[in-house]
Amino acid sequence: MTDEKKIEPARNTSHSDAGGGEIKEENNDIAKKVEIKNTTKKSIFKKAVKQESKEEEYLRGWKRCLADFENYKKRQQESAKNIGGYIREDMILQIIPVIDNFHSATEHIPQDQKELPWVVGIMYIQKQLDDVLKENGIVEMDVKVGDEFDPNLHEAIASNKEEVKSKKQEVENANKITRIVLKGYKLNEKVIRAARVIVG
C-alpha cells in the first residue's frame, strides 16, 4: 500500500512536467512569432520612413531646380534688355552728330532765304530726325548761357578767361556757361551725351 502511494504522486509529477514542457514550447513559438511580427513591422516602418525621406529629397531637389530655372530666365531677360539698351544707345549716339550738322547748317541760313523750297526741305528733315529721337525717349537737355556749370551734365571744352575784361567779371563768371557749342541729350534721365560748353 505504501509503495502504491509513493508511485502515484511520482506519475503525476512526471505528467505535469511533460505538460509544462509543451507550454514552454508553445510560449517560445508565440514569442518567436511576435518577434517576427515586430521585426517585420519595424522593417516596413523603416522602409516607409526611408521612402518618405527620399521623396522629400527629390521634392527639395525639384524645387531647387525650379528656382534656379526662374533665376536663369530673369537673368536672360535682364541681359537681353541691357543688350537692347546698349544697341539703341549706340545707334542714337551715331545719329546725334548728323542732327548736330543739320542744326549747324540751318542756323547759318540767311533770313531772306529761309522760305526757299530747299531750305524748307532741310528744315523738315531736321524736324523728322528730332521727332525720331523724342519717340525713342531721347530729350535735349535744357542748357542756357549763364547756367552754373555742372560736370554731371556739361563738358567744358574751353575756358573764356581771355575774354573777361575785369577781375570782378572773372569772379562772377568763374563757373558760368558763356557759350553752348553742342547740345546735350538724355535717354530716360540718363545723360548719353553731355552738353559741350565754354565756361567763363
Q: What is the share, in percent, of the chain residues with pLDDT greater than 70?
A: 67
Q: What grid cell was written down for 54?
A: 527620399
Give the pLDDT of residue 197. Answer: 92
pTM metric for this prediction: 0.51
Pick the CATH number of 139-200 from 2.40.30.210, 2.30.22.10, 3.30.70.330, 3.40.50.150: 2.30.22.10
Rounded mean pLDDT of 10-25? 53
H or E segment to which residue 156 belongs: strand 154-159
pLDDT tens digits for range 56-102: 777 888 888 888 888 878 887 777 776 666 777 788 888 889 888 88
For the chain, domain boundaries = 139-200
C-alpha distances out from residue 46 to 34, 39, 49, 138, Å: 18, 10, 5, 69
